[in-house]
Structure 1
Amino acid sequence: MRHVLVVKPCCLGDALMATPVLRALRTTYPDMTIDIAVTAWAAPAFDGHPAVRRLVPYPERPTLPRFFRLAQRLRAERYDAALGLDRSPWVGLLLWASGIPVRAGLAAGWRGLLYTHRVPPRPGRHESEQYLAVAARLGAVPRGLEPEFIVPEPIARAIRERVRHFRRPLIVIHPGGAINPGSRLLAKRWPPERFALVADRLTQVWGSTIILVGVATDRDATASVLAHARTPLIDWTDQLSWSELAALLAEADLFIGNDTGAGHLAAAVGTPTVSIFGPTSPLLYRPLGPKSVVIAPPASWELREPRDLRRLSTIADRLDISQVHVDQVVEAASRLLQGEQGTA
């Protein structure tokens, strides 16, 4: 098997959770060429990855004509095998229509009929482990669960210079997220005034520099944090590319944010990370890394199956992200900073 397609359409955090599969394939089969079918939104997660030969554009909005045009293109590539790392039936249909002879996918029931090797999702198993179970059908041997992202050296150098004179510890806070193409799930956002309180308390104790980050759709969240904070914060909202954000996170002493792709990116570059969850499952989606901590309501840890929040009109009180208190986040952040910097 020398020519393999991996399909992971969306989103940034999910794409990063698939990078352990790339590491497993690369180390098990050093001569294998790997293409990834991914949407433009999630494509930055794979930028510069040493295992990836090429990114294949995947439709942002699935329609049968778009999928069959893509299937024709994939058929011409004559892939030896494919991995479908998504539960969507569109992925299985695409690979079936592409005529790829060996198709391993994350699917159960009738969707599994579209694959030659199907792996039913296991309740309570982290997504990265689910994906690696699919890759194992091609004989790939896991090499850890942590995500990975390679920061281009020129970008790393530029960010290092930009933060060189900032007071340490350097803390990056991402108070937004949860807005992707076709979805707006603001129940995943912790209240911005609480991020402001966390920033104030950490600055008071540690004398830290705190940078707020996010994309254009996060401006309301970062603006609210700035309005509520009593200490000066640096606002880099919508100023960084994905690779520049990765470089900043690699320089930071700590990252704090919601259940978003930025938390997985922080884990991928080895940054101590505090992630705040509520209506989504930390068991399935938490950033994986030796310095990654999740704060969530106890009930969130009981969620063992994916949930489509777009289909929920209300979030149960026991899963409300506001159940997470400022003290919990400050204590977790302080423990990580003590491990990095010594006792305050």
Structure 2
Amino acid sequence: MSDMGAPIDGVRRIAVLRANALGDLLLALPALDSLRGAYPDARITLLARSWHADLLTGRPGPVDDVIALPPISGVSEAAAGHLAPEGLFDELRGHRFDLAVQIHGGGRNSNPFVRRLGARVTAGLCSPDAERLDRWVPYVYYQHEVLRYLEVAALVGGRPSGGAMDVLEPRLAVTDADRAEVARELGEPPPRLVALHPGASDPRRRWPAERFAAVADRLGRPVVVTGTGKERDVVEEVAAAMRTPSVPAVDLLSIGGLAALYERCALVISNDTGPRHLAAAVGTPTVGIYWCGNLINAGPLTRTRHRPLVSWTVACPVCGASGVDLTAARCPHDVSWVAGVSVDEVAEQAADLLG
């Protein structure tokens, strides 16, 4: 392992690769804040996707600008077959990055990309099969993502931006434009509002829809049910199962608008997915339903305002395939792995947070 911890002299431009999903970005924010603290006068450019630019452009925070990458397999696109277009690296090298930081993953695909940026120093994560960077730490799957990326930032002099545990939880600024979007699309949110987010990109992380409805009915609060277009069916299922009325909000708001909606909520109850991280990042208490393995990597780090409920299922409920063997292929079954969490458990934590 290479030299760790010394800041790089003369750094004026920093490139950071983090080009995946919403939760991934939010979990990387403490590391970005740490880099900003170490290099207060440098320009930090996030190499990401177009939606990152939409969210972060003009928003207070550690990122100065975003370069939206085209689809590149293993870098900005999961599917195979997407090569970096001709001329891309000439364009990126034209930014004259002094430091390039990889907080994207193990590095098998992303480290060769980062090395081609032409930065004086590269730093990041390395799985055993990845090309080495100038400064690196090993990528070990079961590590909390926030701490993983802070460890990378520490390679080049970054430190958490305060002394309290709370600084480890990601923070995202909400803007007046975000709040105006909520007012335009939904009007004035009612006081004591609770949001439910019953979707998740992986169906195995979804708590049963009828249980979200049962918890909401017990709380007796105004309820909004949020989701993306792909989650419309489960949002409608939750709303139909509730005895009391709720407001569905499917693809109604941008990510910034959703942040502003959550900011107005007394509580967000969610599966382990990007919107739970978003709610926490704007300071709203959350109850999250987690599969045990995912809790290690992506659960909240504090418990004053955030309560994860944990399913200890370690094998597929249908075929028994292991969920903890990292060498095993994913089985084809999409049943919930978090159905072991009860309505009583979630309702108890929700009531406690609501006071």
- Per the TM superposition, whether the score is higher than 0.5 is yes
Counterpart CA distance in 2 for 1:44 and 1:132 is: 25
Q: Which amino acid aligns with 1:271?
A: T
1:281 — aligned with what? Answer: 294
**TM-score of the pair, normalised by structure 2:** 0.83
Q: Is residue 267 of structure 2 the alignment partner of residue 267 of structure 1?
A: no
Q: Deviations over 1:196-224 (max 9, x none)?
A: 11111112xxxx10001111111011011
Shift of 1:72: 2.4
Within-5 A mapping of 1:1-344: 1-43=11-53, 46-47=56-57, 48-62=59-73, 63=81, 65-66=83-84, 69-87=87-105, 88-113=107-132, 115-122=133-140, 124-143=142-161, 144-157=167-180, 159=182, 164=188, 166=190, 168-178=191-201, 185-203=202-220, 208-278=221-291, 280-289=293-302, 290-298=304-312, 311-313=329-331, 320-338=337-355
Q: Could you say if the C-alpha distance between residues 92 and 158 of structure 1 is closer, same or farther in structure 2, counting changes exceeding 3 Å?
A: closer
Is the contact made by 1:6 and 1:84 (CA closer than 8 Å) also made in structure 2?
A: yes
Counterpart CA distance in 1 for 2:192 and 2:159 is: 38
Is the contact made by 1:147 and 1:288 (CA closer than 8 Å) also made in structure 2?
A: no
Higher fraction of helix: 1
1:181 — aligned with what? Answer: none
How many residues are paired up?
A: 322
**TM-score of the pair, normalised by structure 1:** 0.85
Is the contact made by 2:305 and 2:353 (CA closer than 8 Å) also made in structure 1?
A: yes
Q: Deviations over 1:9-56 (max 9, x none)?
A: 101101110111121122222101100011235555545143222111
Is the contact made by 1:16 and 1:46 (CA closer than 8 Å) also made in structure 2?
A: no
2:77 — aligned with what? Answer: none
Q: Could you say if the C-alpha distance between residues 50 and 150 of structure 1 is closer, same or farther in structure 2, counting changes exceeding 3 Å?
A: same
User: 3-state SS of the aligned residue for 1:98?
Assistant: coil
User: 3-state SS of the aligned residue for 1:173?
Assistant: strand
Counterpart CA distance in 2 for 1:146 and 1:95 is: 27
Shift of 1:250: 0.7
User: 3-state SS of the aligned residue for 1:232?
Assistant: coil
Percent identical across equivalent pairs? 32
Shift of 1:304: 11
Q: Which amino acid aligns with 2:195?
A: V
Alpha-carbon RMSD across the aligned residues, in angstroms, is: 2.7
Is the contact made by 1:106 and 1:134 (CA closer than 8 Å) also made in structure 2?
A: yes
Counterpart CA distance in 1 for 2:270 and 2:70 is: 29
Counterpart CA distance in 2 for 1:13 and 1:305 is: 21
Counterpart CA distance in 2 for 1:177 and 1:57 is: 24
Shift of 1:158: 5.5
The gaps in structure 2 that reach 5 residues or longer are 1-10, 74-80, 162-166, 315-321
Between stretches 52-61 and 241-250, larger displacement belongs to 52-61
Q: Could you say if the C-alpha distance between residues 12 and 157 of structure 1 is closer, same or farther in structure 2, counting changes exceeding 3 Å?
A: same
The gaps in structure 1 that reach 5 residues or longer are 179-184, 339-344
